[in-house]
Amino acid sequence: MFTKKEDKTWRHLQHLQDKFAKIRLRDLFAGDPLRAEKYSLQLENMHVDYSKNLINDEIMRHLFALARERGLEDKIKAMFDGKKINQTENRAVLHIALRHRQKTPIYVDGRDVMPQINTVLEKIRDFSEAVRLGRFTGYTGKKLTDIVNIGIGGSDLGPFMACEALKPYWAKDIHCHFISNIDGTACAEVLNKLNPETTLFIVASKTFTTIETLTNAKTCRHWLTEALGEHAVAKHFVALSTNKAEVEKFGINAENMFEFWDFVGGRYSMWSAIGLIIAIAIGYKNFERLLEGANAMDEHFANTPLEQNIPVVLALIGIWYNNFYNIHRYAVIPYDQYLQYLPAYLQQLDMESNGKSVTLDNKFVNYATGPVLFGGAGTNVQHSFFQLLHQGTEIVPIDFIIPAISHNEIGNHHQILLSNILAQGEALMHGKTEEEAALELEKAGKSKTEIARLKKYKSFSGNRPSTTIIFKKIDPYALGQLVAMYEHKVFTQGIIWNINSFDQFGVELGKQLALNILPEIEGTAFGVEHDSSTAALINYIKKIRK
């Protein structure tokens, strides 16, 4: 446990923020022509420019000192060594083992877990290729061309984001669909598009008891059997689970059950059997490239000094804003249509991991932890919430992400996209003073009265931070690097805040109460005590539904 009062480095960083508050980014750039070079990092074809952040050498030096005081380097090693760093659940944290490409063991409780991981990967390879090549067919012998992933949370967001991000790599005759929401519309809208004879359902639930996933799976099963009969289930359903008994009870052949492990949390699981739909869509070789990209970032994170370590640097800049500037939000803006669902995926990764208020010492925190994350695809979001980013009263640090080369080099579209992302970063940093706005209005021929009236409206405070991340192209390898970078960033911040980034008890209470309310909505239970608002809402809904 630590507090601002007890921690010398923490207090010194607060002092630095007080001193630094009036310094402007445009002045820092004017005073140091090498600033962009100094505050940029490179990993293969990934370039990270963090120079447009409210930092200098002294601030970064103390942030790195803070990380070392928190034992970050030892904690990184502990994760890679299979130690049970998920203390509340007494589990190792080994999503890094899922993409471990070196022929070396990784141990949990003295047992090498790599043989079982590699066995499942081989099973994914064989099954995905059998589907793609038409060797594994549906009940009537037709090729399975519509693949439906039924999951929720980490069993949906990761594979959905990755499939959309890698759409240029899909097989031409394969179409991917995702059902996650318990809202019946989610099922109906997907099933209305499909032919039962050519549809494969992947049911992703570790326990095979998740109410949303199993409700959706049963609806899809009924749809299938109505068309093809009970015997078709084994040829049109596979399971990503560990509950063999329930999988077989559902009618799924146990040979088509793909295992994953409790040392991998749902939001870190797209590298496991949860990624089966990714492998079917893009092919196993490309799925391997996804794993290799993540592994390259893992190796960088584990073996690079903190000062040159991309996830660590980004994490510490986030700490700087969250805990010293009291900016408890940030945005991720990919300028790539294929990455449009990346912010939604990162919302779960970041906010479910670090949205915590109890320390590893079993005490309530007295400082800010996980920030709110939002985002969307540029340039669309320039015409929605960028007004607030530029001229609102809230400062929002931004991660801009873009490939230098598009998968669709049509006319000058991508050059316009590139110019927009670079212009946004420059505009947010530089701003426009009242004097500059007045001069601009004067050049436009406005009268002195008009200039006096408009110059404040036309000014921009600037000094708004951003980081720009550029890839050569968004391919499976680059996507693996990008996602693993954010995973390690979130982990690093959890270490600084002394919280467990790998449990998610916060999602449970509402789900438990929903199970109590469901019988009342269905009319099979009465007299359960609720607060007056909830009770009145239940009664109103029951009245309407009659």
Range 357-380 average pLDDT: 97
Is the pLDDT score of 5 beyond 60?
no
pLDDT tens readout for residues 184-205: 999 999 999 999 999 999 999 9
Give the tokens for residue 198.
Answer: 């050519």
The domain 8-69+304-430+465-503 is placed in CATH, from the list 3.40.50.10490, 3.40.50.720, 2.40.170.20, 3.40.50.150, at 3.40.50.10490
Give the tokens for residue 280.
Answer: 């079917």
Q: Is 533 helix (H, G, I), strand (E, B) or coil?
A: helix
pLDDT tens readout for residues 94-105: 999 999 999 899
What is the reported pTM? Answer: 0.96
User: Does the annotation count 352 as an active-site position?
Assistant: yes
Q: How confident is the model at residue 526 (pLDDT cuts 50, 70, 90)?
A: confident
Is the pLDDT score of 4 beyond 50?
no
The pLDDT of residue 215: 97
pLDDT tens readout for residues 440-450: 999 999 999 99
Q: Which of 383, 443, 543, 546 is catalytic?
A: 383
Task: Look at the domain 107-288 and name its fold.
Answer: Rossmann fold (3.40.50)
Q: Which of 212, 288, 352, 487 is catalytic?
A: 352
User: Does the annotation count 511 as an active-site position?
Assistant: yes
The pLDDT of residue 1: 42
Could you identify the residue written with the tokens 């915590």?
A: 356
Query: With pLDDT > 70 as the criterion, what percentage of the chain qualifies?
Result: 99
Q: Which of 4, 15, 285, 511 is catalytic?
A: 511
Residue partners of 460: CB distance under 8 A and separation at least 6: 390, 391, 427, 431, 432
- Report the phi/psi class of residue 456: left, alpha or beta, with left for phi > 0 and alpha for psi in -120 to 50: alpha
Range 318-342 average pLDDT: 98
